[in-house]
Structures are given as structure tokens and as C-alpha cells.
Structure 1
């Protein structure tokens, strides 16, 4: 195992490589020139050259980005599109919300100019200010009709006032300077759209995983950031994932280099997968920190190196997005064999691609030695309770949830928990049930697991498009029996999964503790000097009382011979004032009108929360290894 880092300059702002030149395979017909036009106005300047346009050439900007299933209308940020052929201006006609027709002649080079406003600090769109630049091509680069499958060149122009800025991207360099500015090439528009670009005075480090070079850049890190530890832990995750998919067949790794782009912010979390890179966001407080103690004993070092909850969450995000390199970027829904950037792309398989990835992200942390069995069970425990505390699981299957992600999961509102279930969390539990059922089933005294299924799918589909039928076929091949009934019940049905029996059979004790007060009442709230009702769960005590999202719960009245009224600031104060009362009156403000709601308090044992623990360490280890 080899690893190299830029630890000699933890605050480094540029790589030290020499100018890189690679000859293009064919002469590209589409060239983009990206300039940092106005940092204070957050404007990119884009010049698009089309060498051989068609008459009345059409161009369009995508309405969504792969991996984020919501129409985001990127064209709303495009400004002042103009066109020229030689010295002649040509007319531009907008055809709809995201496409234009250019009144040009055929086969004469065409040049388009426009600007894009970039002030969305997410992984999905584009950002530009004096501290950092980032973009996905789906936000900046118009698609040229008829040229989508041809090579595309992207030229990144450095800003004269930003000499410390460098570039990180998964694109193939043509001619770039030591800081990474210059020209890159993509085989087609899909590749261009799948390789985001990070620019700035970021921290940069490198490591090798199973012979493949990986780069990790971090924007927004503080002086306490421990870059060495992040590289060391990311390397372990990458090697665990590569071994999972390829074992000793390392020649089959589907990329030659990989880039992690992490943006550390005050508040935020998320990631978006790409073919040989990923864009990530985390809280600065969740980054690993340098120890204040210069010399540590082995025992103290082990304690310091144990990840806290925030850092574990970040490692899980890294693991999740990296696993997507195989599971959704290569092995993918048949509906995504070719993206349609003009509208929603529907599939019922997000429970597999997001859910199964969610199952493996924490499991790979355990296999990489970054968490132990007990820690893994705590993470799994959280997922189980999230699903069991969502009424929508009883009305919406994960297949439906996948198909309607565009309108339900990605456009969540106060009633979302009652309408749908997350294909991430329930999909992960389906993977768990399937994995444990396979291990218990066995074949001819040989253990079979979900690992075998995933690798079998990779081989069957040749790392390409798949359907649910492919999953069923691989399951049948590995076990000799049909799993159609199980998949139909778990994926297309709405009954609870057989989790408890499966876990118990594999050495996990399942305890049922009283649920937290908010869950027993059926409320999701925020507390800041008062109780704000965010969501009311269907069929709950709060639902029966008439609580509604947006209400402010001010206080309670307790009846009886000695009636009393009390002001509430936190939900946990309710038992203090309610005493042994089983019924009370909730005083609620709704649109400044004061309401009195009759609330029947549910018994403590009415709802339970799961708590997992290791019962048989050998069985748990056999499952998680």
C-alpha cells in the first residue's frame, strides 16, 4: 500500500506539476472559454465556439443534473446571449425556457457569448466569489445540437488578481499550466457534464489506492484541519471499495484517476457523484483536527483517532459518493442509458442505486477499520428508527418513491413524512434484509451474500444499464430459487420489513425502548424560545388534536379541581406540567389567532424506538466482515 501527500504544505494553493500536454484523439468542434468575469457580481463569462454549425443552429442548457432528481431550471441564471459569424452579428431566438435557435449559416464558425450568475453554494450548480469558484457544466455550458457525441474542449482562464488560485477537475488536460488553468478535453457532452471544476486557494493532498492516483482538495478549511488524517482515512475507504468490486482484478477499475472536491462551510452537508470525481459539502467543525498534544502514547493516539459523530458522518458521505462510482455512474438504471437533459428522467430503481449504496457506505467504513461493530450498529439503528417513524412508509412503496422523487422527495414540505418514504433509508433496509436473508439461506454449504449479488450484477450488465429483472436473475443464479415474491413485498409493497428476525438470527439484540416524547405525540418541532410545529404525523395524538404545521405551541392548561395553565418553551417541559394528567388543553397560536386544542397524551409504551446491541459478537463479525 503506497500513499503520497502534499503534507509539506498543508495550506498549499497549487499543485507543483509541470505543464501537461495530451494530444486530442480527434479535432474538437465545440470549444468553451470560461472566464471569471466579475467576482463581486458572481458572473462567469462564457465564449462558445462551434467550428461547423448547422444552419439555424440550436443550443440548450440542461434543466437538471444527473444524480439530483429535480428540475432546477439552470437557464434562469444565463444572461445576455449573443452570436457572431466572423464580423457579422446574427440573431438569437429563444425557443423555450432553456433552448435557443441561432440565425446562422452552415459550416462557418459560430461564436456565442453569454454570462452566468453563480451564487448557489451547493454541489449541483455554480458558485463564484473572491474566495472560490466552482461549477458543473450543466450550469455553464450550452449543449450544441448535433454535436453532443463529439469531443468538447473547455478552456479555463486564470484571473490576474488571483495568482494563488489553482484548478481541480476530473477532465483530461490538453495544455495546462502548473496551477491547472488551461485547456481540458471531454469525449462528449455527457463527460463534460460529469466532471465539475473547483477553483481557488484550496488545500490539496494526494494518495494512491490500489495503484490508482487520487487527489483530495478542501476549500474553506481552518488552520486546525488535519489533512494527513483525512487522506489516510479516505485511502482506506477507497481501497475497501475497490476490493469490494474488483477483488484482485485491479485492471478492471473503471477510471485512471479520481478527484474529491470538498467545500467546508459553516452549515451544510451533501454530495454529488461523478464518473471520476465527487463534489462534497461538510461543516468545518466536522473536519478532522490536529491534536494539541505533540507526542501521544499508542493508547491515547487510538482514542484521539476515533472519529467523532461529525467526522464519521463526513467519512460516510465520502464512502457513499465513492461507491456511486460503480453503483449508478456505471451500473445504472436502463432509463439512464442516455440522459435526456430537457426533462425529468424517471426510474423506479433509486431504492437500489441510492438505498443499496446507503447500506454499503457505513459498512465499508467498518470494513476499512474506521468504525467498530458497535458503532456500525448505532448508525444502522438510526436508519431503522428513521424509517419506522415515517407514516409514509405505509402508503408509498420505495418503487413509487423512486419514480416520484422529482415531485416528492426533492420537493419536500411539511406533509412529506405522511406521503412518502425515503428510498435512501428504506432502500438501505431492503439491502440489509436481502443480505441477511442470503447469508442465512446459503447454497450447498457455501455462504452467499449481497456482495456476491452486486458483483454478479456488475458482471451480468457489464458495468452498464440494468433493470430489476437483472437483479432477480442474479439472485436466482446464486441461490437456485426465485426472490420475486420477496422483492415484490419489500420494494413494491408497503408492509414493514422483516428486520427483527433477520437481525436476531445474525447476532444482534433488538431492544424496544420508549420513544421520545415528540415521536409519541407525532410531532417534529424546532425550539427557539418557543415550540414551532414543523410536521404533524398522520394517525398520531397531535393529528387527532388538530395540530398543524406552522403552529406555535405556547402552553398547556391542566383541568381538574385545581386547574392551572403553564407556558411551554421546550417540549420536554410537558411532563413537568402535565403530571399524571392523561388529557390537557394545548394553547396554540395559528396565524396570530389563539386556539385551544384538546390533546390526549399517549401512554409511554404506545410507541417504541429500536435499540440495537451486539448479542453474538462472532455472528455480527461474520456478517460485517
Structure 2
């Protein structure tokens, strides 16, 4: 072969290589999912959705809609609210489709790589886990509205919102990539589904704290003292950072809606209902609300990052079971008090009253004799809103016994290490080892291993309190922190009760030792 032919041959191979690799790059490029939402008649509680597909290569495309919301352990049956589903190609010609399961739609797109899915959603549920639209506002929970390609939640997605003309403001933790057109971006559907959106005429306040930016959207700001409230939020966040030593976001959004019940944590936001105004009738009412805000904020660490291994990656099509929600929720109740005390917004003796109330709620219900803490976590899918007549006789809440175990575990660790270690060290270890380093949740065995390594002692007795209904030796653990508990029967308790109802009020232990006083001051600051 001559030098000229060799050169020509080389160039041919080179161009062929470049072309083939360019083609491969196009073929392997992620499908593009671009959503638009409009609100033509919001007073009817409907919103209109269009999903534009590009770069689809399968001849059949199956779309799935989640049936539950992370943090809200209840099957919601959201597919029932999807109506007028249709698929059209680039020329607006209809493409056939069929339902495969209650929450999946199979599209026969054939060789078409571009097409659009259109449907309407009935949104009339006033809930932190579901969507609601009326003439005044829209609260969108993306997982109740937007479908993903089956088994492909890692695809990036864009969302453009066409606000109703009566609405002026959008509050969300989603990343805005085009402010003029209200277009948002999520790098995958886990983030997309975990980013609620509130659209209306809410009051907004933007602020900074410790190098991070924040947005506060308040639907009913009557009685709000802007400076004090934002200042208290900053105290809460700084107190949390002092414990966890990391801030896992660049921007965080507070969404505070009108009067209602409940709240839900998200990766870079929280959405909560308020009492309909910020004109607190008492100091305790304000403290209760700030406890609530703190609880949802700490979930950013505990359950979003520090999580049982069963809670992510999620299966959005069915229940996700774990026996460890008493850590995710119960410890978060405990830490809302710890953080509020560190922030200077809660007195230590008042924190003991909250903890005493948790013990009383648990111990003075017959369910405490029938359901373990681990079982209450696993069976939450049956009991999330259990209003059956026998519920109090058979069920307990990890919101009550969970923070109690958190307190006992903290006291045990501090006592065993001369107050050099605490539950804080466990939480930081779980965060760094499993979330940051291993990029996953922890197993039950790994959780207890972390606790015992920190405590430098076996924790079999506390494990028994989690896994059984055995009677708890409160005084043993509380004495470690210079505390005592009132176990006298309640004078008004009915004589025919199957068990004795007691006061369970925690107070100071007289003649406490130096270590006991040191531990009490470290936790409760008195």
C-alpha cells in the first residue's frame, strides 16, 4: 500500500470511528422528559399536564405514577385522579396506549422517538402528601402528578409552570433554570418527586445564613414578626449545624401554607400547614410551632440522609417496610427539643415536660402492652391513620416511645463515657459513614454497632425495650442525668383499668453526683 493510500485509509478509519462514536453517543443519550403544567380553570380543582418526550428508542414506553410519598407511609391511590389521558405524535395524530396496572400506562409509540402525553389531574386533597388546586392557589406534590418511565427514575426532567393570571409567586426547592418562563430542573425523579411546589400570592422572604440562601413562603402571614421569625429560624439552623457539623444544601425553601394539619420533610425544603396566622395566643403555642418547624428541618439529616437501608432507593409502586422508623421519626422528636434548647428557644425544664408527655402517652395506653416499638415501625402502613375503635388497645406510636428511647440511649452513652460521647456522635457517624462515604442507608445491625461502639458497652437492655413490650426501668437511666420520674398512680384513674395509669413526670434528682449534674446540664442546661 502506498503512503497516499495508507493516509487515505487512515482518514477513512478515523472518520468512521468519529461517526460511529458520535452515533453511539446519540443513541445512548438519556431520554428527555419535559413537563408543562397549566391551570385553565383552577376553581374546578383540575390542572392540565403535558409531557413532551424526545430521544425515545423503545417501541413501547411504559409510564408509572407513584402511589405513595416518602415520609408519608400510606398508599394514596393517586392514579384515580388521572383523567383524559392521551398520546399524540409530532403531527398531533393519536398514538395507541393501554393501562397495564393501576398506576402504569403502556404507549405503543413504535419507531417514533418524539411524542407527547397529555392528561388532566383532579387535585382536591388538602394534605402535605397530595395535591390541591383552587381559585386562590395550587399546592403540587410532583409524585402525585408526574409520571416517569418505568424503572428509569434517574432521567433528568424539566418542568415549566404556566401560572394562573391571578397568581404571582412560586415557592419550591426545585432549581429554577429560566425565571422568565418559570422553568425548573431536577437531575432525577427522586429529587423531582421530593420537591413540592406552592403557587399563589404568598408572602416571600429571602435571607442568608452561614453562607447558604433561603426562601420563605408564607400563605397567611397575619401577625408575623418578620425579623423575629427569620431570626429564630437562623438560630434553629445554626444549632442544628453545631450538632451535625455539615449543611447538605446550597439553598433551602420553607413553604408554610394556610391553616391545616401536618408537615412533610424534603431534601431541600419543607412544606407545612400553619394555624392560619402567626398571631400566637401564648408563648407555648409559638414554641409548639417552632418545635414543629425544627422537626421537619432535622429530617433533612435524619431520614433523608441518615436512613434505614430500606428507605431508598424507593419502590414507588408499593409499601417500603422497615423496623427502624422509631429512629427516623422518634429520634427526630427528641432532637427537635435538643435543637430548640441549643437555639435558646426552649427551656430545659419545658423540654422535660414534652418528654414526660411522650412517656405518658405511650405507657398509659393499653397498646403499650401489645405492640413493640419495632413492630409499630413495620406496621405503620396499616396504622398511619388507624381510627379503629380498638386502636388504643392494640397500637402504639413511634412518635411517643421513639423519643423516649432516644433519651435513654443518650443518657446511657453519656454515663458510660463520662459524658465524653453522646447520641450526637452516633448521628454524626451514621451521617458520615453511610450517607457521605458509602452513599446508602444503614442496616439495623450497623445502627446498633454504631451505638455500642460509641457507648463502649453492650446495649442489649435497650434493644429489648425496642423489640418487646417489657417494662422499662426509667429510673435507672434517668438517674444518669440527675433526673427522676414520678411513677405514682394517677388519682383519677379508673379502678377497673387493666393496668395502672401513672404520672410519669420527670424532674430533678436531689443530691445528684457531679457526673449526673454534668450530664443533665449538657442536655437540658440546668
Does TM, normalized by the shorter one, top 0.5?
yes
Name the structure 1 match of 2:172.
Answer: 169
Whole-Å separation in 2 of the counterparts to 1:45 and 1:521? 60
The 3-state SS of whatever aligns with 1:207 is: strand
TM-score by length of 2: 0.88
Whole-Å separation in 2 of the counterparts to 1:84 and 1:318? 44
Kept in 2, the 8 Å contact 1:170–1:196? The answer is yes
Change (3 A) 1:446 1:610: closer
- Residue 126 (structure 1) aligned with residue 100 (structure 2): no
Name the structure 2 match of 1:361.
Answer: 336
Q: After TM superposition, give the deviation of residue 276 of structure 1 in Å.
A: 0.4
Higher relative strand content: 1
Question: How large is the Cα RMSD of the aligned pairs?
Answer: 2.1
Name the structure 1 match of 2:218.
Answer: 218
Q: After TM superposition, give the deviation of residue 412 of structure 1 in Å.
A: 3.7
Whole-Å separation in 1 of the counterparts to 2:336 and 2:217? 21
Name the structure 2 match of 1:253.
Answer: 247
Q: 1:341 aligns with which of 293, 298, 316?
A: 316
Whole-Å separation in 2 of the counterparts to 1:336 and 1:509? 37
Whole-Å separation in 1 of the counterparts to 2:363 and 2:390? 16
Q: 1:269 aligns with which of 261, 265, 288?
A: 261
The range that moved more, 256-265 or 614-623, is 614-623
Kept in 1, the 8 Å contact 2:74–2:384? The answer is no
The range that moved more, 143-152 or 310-319, is 143-152
Q: 2:370 aligns with which of 386, 391, 395?
A: 395
Q: 1:320 aligns with which of 295, 298, 303?
A: 295
Whole-Å separation in 2 of the counterparts to 1:89 and 1:240? 56
Kept in 2, the 8 Å contact 1:276–1:325? The answer is yes
Kept in 2, the 8 Å contact 1:512–1:610? The answer is yes
Name the structure 2 match of 1:75.
Answer: 79
Q: After TM superposition, give the deviation of residue 172 of structure 1 in Å.
A: 1.0
Name the structure 2 match of 1:44.
Answer: 47
Kept in 2, the 8 Å contact 1:55–1:103? The answer is yes
- Residue 279 (structure 1) aligned with residue 279 (structure 2): no
Whole-Å separation in 2 of the counterparts to 1:255 and 1:520? 52
Whole-Å separation in 2 of the counterparts to 1:63 and 1:516? 47
- Residue 611 (structure 1) aligned with residue 505 (structure 2): yes
The 3-state SS of whatever aligns with 1:352 is: helix
Whole-Å separation in 1 of the counterparts to 2:468 and 2:485? 24
Deviation per CA, 1:536-556: give whole Å up to 9, x if none.
xx837xxxxxxxxxxxxxxxx
Kept in 2, the 8 Å contact 1:409–1:422? The answer is no
Name the structure 2 match of 1:554.
Answer: none
The 3-state SS of whatever aligns with 2:383 is: coil
Q: After TM superposition, give the deviation of residue 151 of structure 1 in Å.
A: 0.7
Name the structure 2 match of 1:292.
Answer: none
Name the structure 1 match of 2:187.
Answer: 187
Whole-Å separation in 2 of the counterparts to 1:455 and 1:509? 29
Whole-Å separation in 1 of the counterparts to 2:453 and 2:112? 54
Q: After TM superposition, give the deviation of residue 487 of structure 1 in Å.
A: 4.1
Q: After TM superposition, give the deviation of residue 514 of structure 1 in Å.
A: 4.9
Name the structure 2 match of 1:561.
Answer: none
Q: Equivalent residues in 2 for 1:120-519 (5 A)?
A: 120-145=125-150, 147-160=152-165, 162=166, 164-177=167-180, 182-222=182-222, 224-246=223-245, 252-265=246-259, 268-284=260-276, 287-288=278-279, 308-442=283-417, 445=418, 447-463=420-436, 464-483=440-459, 485-512=460-487, 514-515=489-490, 517=492
Whole-Å separation in 2 of the counterparts to 1:394 and 1:430? 16
The range that moved more, 192-201 or 504-513, is 504-513
Q: Which runs of 5+ in 1 are unaligned?
A: 1-25, 247-251, 290-303, 523-537, 541-605
Whole-Å separation in 2 of the counterparts to 1:108 and 1:458? 42
Name the structure 2 match of 1:529.
Answer: none
Higher relative helix content: 2
The number of residues matched between the two structures is 486
Q: After TM superposition, give the deviation of residue 38 of structure 1 in Å.
A: 1.5
Name the structure 2 match of 1:90.
Answer: 95
Q: Which runs of 5+ in 2 are unaligned?
A: 1-28, 511-516
Whole-Å separation in 2 of the counterparts to 1:466 and 1:107? 43
Kept in 1, the 8 Å contact 2:268–2:300? The answer is yes
The 3-state SS of whatever aligns with 2:358 is: helix
Kept in 1, the 8 Å contact 2:416–2:457? The answer is no
Whole-Å separation in 1 of the counterparts to 2:65 and 2:426? 38
